Each structure stands twice: as C-alpha cells, then as structure tokens.
C-alpha cells in the first residue's frame, strides 16, 4: 500500500475525512473543520492589520467571466461546468426510463448553465473590482475564501477535487505587489514554523495544457512568477504545495481593465493558502489526535 492510500485510509478510520465513493470528494469531521478554523484565525492574526477588504464568493462563478479569464486555454482538463436538465416533458420521461433501465446515459439532455465551478478563489474578484472603476494610487488589498474545483481525481488526500483556498490579492504598481508577495513569503514560513511544520520554498510552474504549455511553464519559472511553500504530507521526496505566492504582472490588469488613478495598468499578486492541505500537513506531522499535538502548536492555534 502506498503512502497516499495508507494516509487516506487512516484519515477515514479516524473519521477525520468521510468517504463519499468518489476519489477526491470527501466529507470532513467537526475536528477537521476546527483545525481549519483555527488556522484561519492565525491567518487573520498575521494579516488582519493590513486592512484587506473581505469578500466571500460562492463556489460557482459567472460562465462569461470564466470564459474571459482564459482558463480553458491553459487548464481545460481541470475545469468543471454546471449542467442542468433543459428538456421537455417527453424528454423527462425518457430520462427516467434511461435511469430505470440503466443502459443509457441519462445526462445526454443536460445542458450547460450560466455557472461554472470556481477554479481559484480570486477569479470572481477581478471583474468585480473592474466594475468599480480606477484603483487608488495606494493600491488595493482583498481577503478571499472559497471552495474551488479541479477535476483531478486521486487517492492522494492532499489532491482533492473540491477544496478551500484562502487568498490575499494585492493590486497596484509592480513594486507594490512584489513587496506584498515577498512579505507574505516571509510570513508564510514563520507561520508554518509556529505550528511545527517543516517547509521549503521553491520556484513553481503550473501544468499548462496545449502546444503553448511548455513555453508558458518556462516563462513562469524563468521570471520567478510563482513560488510554492512545500510541506511533506504523503511523500518526503515530493512534498505538497500548501501555499503559493503568485505575481501576475499586468496580465489580469490588462485582461479585466484594472487601471490605477494615473491610468496605468494595475499589476496584481496573490498569496494562497490551501486550507485542507495545511490541515492534512498538521495531522500528518503531529498525529490524528489534536489533543496529543505539541503544546506550543496547540497554543499557536487555540491560544
């Protein structure tokens, strides 16, 4: 049995995760949720004084905004759409017959709605801010949290299909947002040390899709556009990214028409916390019973 499956089974046996019969789609126990809530309070403690505007979007987003984002150019294999039955009464009867017989695909009359599953917590933010008009010369900072969807079923409990991301998104000048990113890289390392987690930070690249993918990967790495904070969860040789620190340059500013008061295109950067992954890292490192975690870790999380 590999480490991924072994750890997943232990989480099931302890009742921390709940098996739904679909890889990467799990229920969470109250104890698992309390660990996430405690870590979010730590995020608030570290970043709260920055004065970010808090927004909370649902796990679905406007399909037109999703299409405009360009996500399908890079990650079509990860996207999720929301479909609903749009047929007639006769079609409904045919659907029920298909389900009763079990021989045909009952989803054939489902059609795409105006909603897609949110791929990243920050995606609904950009068109929202763009509608407000120009951004202050001092920049803007936003605090987000959302369930996100990635279609990549796996036995690895750290690679779930529906998971939560907490993000801070900064908009402003190049200097403003790169300073923001660096400050959170420093903060992230200190936060993880405070809860007893061994981490490394490395330049990262996303699994871009299509013929242009290799060039995009190389560009991302060469320009240090994305860093990841890595923590061993199911593998020591291949640790899991639990935080990411992304500099988008002016790509989102150009795409969404995000402009500063002087008319220049805003640069953007974000820091993302993978909340389930951080909780899993804590359980993997300190054990499945939070009452037996080191006192300094418990004090950091629960005071």
Q: Each residue of 65-79: pLDDT tens digit?
A: 999 999 999 899 999
Given a cut of 50, is residue 215 above it in pLDDT? no
The DSSP letter of residue 50 is G
**Beta-strand (E) ranges in 77-225?**
81-85, 110-117, 140-149, 162-172, 200-203
Given a cut of 70, is residue 22 above it in pLDDT? yes
Q: What angle do CA 221, 222, 228 make, to 5 degrees?
A: 30
Which tokens in the block code for residue 133?
């008009």
Which tokens in the block code for residue 75?
């990650």
Separation of alpha carbons 215 and 182, rounded Å? 25
Given a cut of 60, is residue 230 above it in pLDDT? yes
Percent of the chain, pLDDT > 70?
A: 92
Mean pLDDT in residue range 10-26 = 98
Side by side, which strands form the sheet with 140-149? Answer: 53-55, 140-149, 162-172, 267-274, 240-247, 226-231, 200-203
Per-residue pLDDT band for 211 (boundaries 50, 70, 90) equals low
Separation of alpha carbons 275 and 22, rounded Å? 20
Mean pLDDT in residue range 69-91 = 92
Which of 136-150, 154-168, 201-215, 245-259 is predicted least confidently? 201-215
Tokens 């994305």, residue? 226
Nearest to 257, CA basis, from 55, 122, 68, 66: 68
Mean pLDDT in residue range 36-61 = 98
What pLDDT was estimated at residue 220?
A: 45
Separation of alpha carbons 205 and 209, rounded Å? 12
Q: What is the CATH number of domain 3-80+119-302?
A: 3.30.930.10
Residue limits of CATH 3.30.930.10 in the chain: 3-80+119-302
Given a cut of 70, is residue 214 above it in pLDDT? no
- Sign of the torsion angle spanned by Cα atoms 87, 93, 97, 99: positive
Q: Does the model's pTM come out above 0.85?
A: yes
Give the containing element (helix H, strand E) for 61: strand 60-62
Separation of alpha carbons 245 and 124, rounded Å? 18
What pLDDT was estimated at residue 90?
A: 87
Separation of alpha carbons 167 and 153, rounded Å? 23
């Amino acid at each position: 049995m590999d480490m991924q499956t072994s750890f997943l089974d232990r989480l099931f046996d302890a009742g921390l995760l709940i098996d739904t019969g679909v890889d990467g789609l799990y229920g969470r126990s109250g104890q698992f949720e309390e660990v996430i809530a405690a870590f979010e309070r730590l995020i608030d403690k570290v970043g709260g004084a920055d004065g970010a505007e808090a927004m909370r979007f649902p796990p679905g987003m406007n399909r037109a905004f999703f299409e405009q984002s360009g996500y399908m150019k890079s990650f079509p294999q990860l996207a999720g759409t929301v479909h609903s039955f749009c047929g007639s009464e006769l079609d409904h009867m045919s659907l029920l017959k298909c389900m009763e017989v079990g021989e045909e695909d009952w989803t054939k009359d489902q059609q795409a709605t105006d909603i897609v599953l949110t791929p990243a917590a920050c995606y609904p933010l950009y068109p929202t801010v763009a509608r407000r008009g120009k951004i202050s010369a001092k920049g803007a900072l936003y605090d987000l949290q959302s369930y996100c969807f990635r279609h990549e079923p796996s036995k690895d409990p750290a690679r779930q299909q529906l998971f939560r991301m907490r993000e801070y998104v900064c908009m402003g000048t190049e200097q403003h947002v790169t300073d923001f990113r660096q400050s959170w890289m420093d903060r992230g390392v200190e936060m993880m040390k405070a809860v007893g987690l061994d981490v490394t930070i490395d330049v990262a690249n996303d699994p871009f899709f299509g013929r242009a993918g290799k060039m995009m990967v190389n560009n991302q790495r060469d320009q240090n556009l994305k860093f990841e904070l890595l923590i061993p969860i199911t593998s020591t040789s291949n640790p899991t990214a639990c935080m990411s620190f992304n500099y988008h340059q002016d790509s989102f500013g150009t795409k969404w028409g995000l402009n500063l008061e002087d008319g220049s295109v805003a640069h953007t950067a974000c820091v993302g916390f993978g909340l389930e992954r951080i909780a899993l890292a804590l359980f993997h490192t300190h054990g499945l019973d939070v009452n037996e975690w080191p006192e300094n870790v418990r004090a950091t999380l629960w005071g």
